[in-house]
Chain A
Amino acid sequence: MKQRKRTVMYTVIGLFVALVHIIPFYILLTVSFKDMRDMSSKWAFPGYWFMGNFMSAWQNAHLGRAFLNTGVITVMSVVLILIFGSLAAFPLARYQSKLNKWVYGIFVSALIVPPLTILVPLYKLFVDIGFMNTYYGIVLLHVTFQLSMAIFLYTSFIGTIPRELDEAAMIDGATKTGMFFRIIMPLLKPVTATIVIMNANSIWNDYQFSLFFLQKADSRTITVALSSFFGENSAQIGWIAAGSLMAAIPSILVYILLQKYFVDGIAAGAVKG
């Protein structure tokens, strides 16, 4: 009886929380379905299904192309982040020499570097080495800037894997490197899910890097494409709302798909660390 009462109470409070949190999205939804001339309150859901904003946003911002570009960039970056990140984390977690503590510090403190202070020197560098307007250029940038988080999480996670496992493998004659690939890698699944969600999401949403380093009409990413709706003379708020909604859907899907692992991943990677 007591158990059931608690369940009901938790459910009610939970739904109330959901209700409060969904308000901004409800507003986003009403705005995205409203005709520009409709001046009714933002609370009122339009009595019609106006898909015009979605279509206009899709076509005017070339969102199809932008989704493809962003998708390619995100996937490539995330794959590289996982490789470089897990590789880098292993020695940092297993061999905590003074040097490696410094190296770890260098990796993590990159989280703190304000992007704007490095913007211009970075841009110059990109021009000099011919990385401007290339997919690999922007991918390497994303990889570098997201690696901190990945290394941070991987290092803590590997720290929780018992060393006995390593030793068992070493007795079998594996080198440390070999052992990493055979024993550790397969164990990293949950934390990998966490890293995928967090990093893919930041890359998907990136605006600054894409704006400055990918200045070609047909390589625009979603956020840059949507930003063209913020004109000086009018912000097409219906289009922006509709476009934002569409842009968020893939991230939301990825999150829902991976959310079970996500929790496990943080549990082991960030919480026990």
Chain B
Amino acid sequence: MKPNVVVTKAGQRRTTQMRRLAKSPVMLNWMYLPALLLFAVFIYYPFFRGLLISFTDWDGYSQIFHYIGIDNYKRMLSDSRVHTVIINTLIYGLGSTLFQNIIGLLYALLLNKHGKGRTFVRVIVYIPAIVSPIIMGYIWYFLLQYNGGAINDIITAFTGHPVNLLADPKVNVWIIMVVNTYQFLGVAMMIFLSGLQSISKDYYEAAEIDGASPMNRFFNITFPLLAPALTTSIILNLIGGLKLFDVIAALTNGGPGYASASLSTMMYQLYFARQDAGLAASLGNLMFLLITVISLTSLYFLRRKELSQ
């Protein structure tokens, strides 16, 4: 009889263990396995293979190449064009993030509760985000073109001659930044709108009783409570802006030379046109690093801010 009891007890223990395991959160982890598998196969495996390319002199298509150590990285860091391109990328990334969020927030405040037809205006502001970026680039080319461009038609009407808006690298980088801002402004606006709508009315009522001015209310209630929305919006805009490609390709193709190129477009040209796949891959890794550092840093600061509220 004794052994039997032991078995039963052990069995019982096992079933309770099983039950505990079934209730334990670890068992839930199976749920992300399919996604993890996809990521491993289609993103991380190719990504690490791609890392290796940066240590070769591969031309991007031949079956023949050699490992050349860190030569590509040395070449990249000593290349003055790469410096310009990093600065451009930062302008595209940080600049559009800044403007998207400021204007997006203003629009959200404007279109939140008051005014007729605000749903219509929201749709209009959001539509550009729906259109494919390459097409958006072309639409803006229609506007900015030297000959027969819509904006130059107006300039010509006033001054008598058109201006080559996209030729000067001091200007075209900012134009591209503005176009990108215009396109994805709607996303920031929507995020802020949602943020605004999730703020309970009670806060405002309480503030009104206290006699707070509208300015006061904005800075003491609205803005702090929008902090999480701000975080999401900033991170998404940063990543999008730092990876910017299509609009540049359509408007200036990174030119003149590499003057308005971003890391993405320069990488593309090095890879395909210049047949310098090794250098292109190094640039890609630099870009990965840059975006990771920038977004993690901002995430760190933004979250800390959120918590301190």
Contacts and interface: CB of A to CB of B under 8 A. Distances in A.
Contacts, number: 281
B37 to A, nearest CB: 10
B71 interface: no
B119 to A, nearest CB: 8
A14 B123 contact: no
A244 to B, nearest CB: 4
Given A117-B288, A252-B130, A271-B229, A24 B47 contact: no
A206 to B, nearest CB: 8
Nearest to A160: B198
Interface in A33-59: 39, 41-43
A91 B280 contact: no
Contacts of B191: 266, 270-271
Given A112-B291, A207-B132, A91 B35 contact: no
B299 to A, nearest CB: 10
Given A21-B182, A112-B292, A117-B50, A87 B34 contact: yes
A14 B115 contact: yes
Interface residues of A, number: 95
A3 B194 CA distance: 23
B281 A117 contact: yes
A27 interface: yes
Contacts of A120: 50, 53, 60, 277
Interface string A89-111: 11110110101100100110111
A43 B117 contact: no
Contacts of B194: 263-268, 270-271
A145 B150 contact: no
B117 A11 contact: yes
A122 B46 contact: yes
Interface string B175-217: 0000000100000001101110110000000000000000000
Contact of A259 (B28, B53, B122, B153): B122
Interface string B52-68: 01000000100000000
B153 to A, nearest CB: 5
A199 interface: no
Contact of A177 (B27, B51, B111, B116): B27
Contact of A100 (B29, B114, B125, B291): B29
B218 interface: no
A112 B38 CA distance: 16
A121 B281 CA distance: 12
B25 A95 contact: yes
A21 B143 CA distance: 13
B224 interface: no
A124 B58 CA distance: 15
Residue from A140, A223, A270 whose CB has the most chain B CB atoms within 10 Å: A270
A25 B136 CA distance: 9
Interface in B137-172: 138-140, 142-143, 148-150, 153
B271 A116 contact: yes
Interface in A5-42: 6-7, 9-11, 13-15, 17-18, 21-25, 27-28, 31, 39, 41-42
B255 interface: no
B138 A240 contact: yes
Interface in B265-280: 267-268, 271, 277, 280
Contacts of B197: 263-264, 267
Given A28-B142, A273-B232, A90 B31 contact: yes
Given A21-B182, A223-B132, A267-B197, A273 B228 contact: yes
Contacts of B134: 207, 223, 227
Nearest to B290: A112
A125 B135 contact: no
A255 B133 CA distance: 17
B285 interface: yes
A180 interface: yes
Nearest to A131: B42
A228 to B, nearest CB: 13
A265 B115 CA distance: 23
A133 interface: no
B9 interface: no
19 contacts: A11-B116, A17-B107, A21-B128, A28-B142, A43-B150, A87-B34, A107-B35, A116-B268, A120-B60, A121-B47, A140-B42, A177-B28, A205-B131, A207-B134, A244-B139, A256-B123, A266-B194, A268-B198, A272-B228
Closest 4 CB pairs between A and B? A10-B115, A95-B25, A267-B194, A117-B284
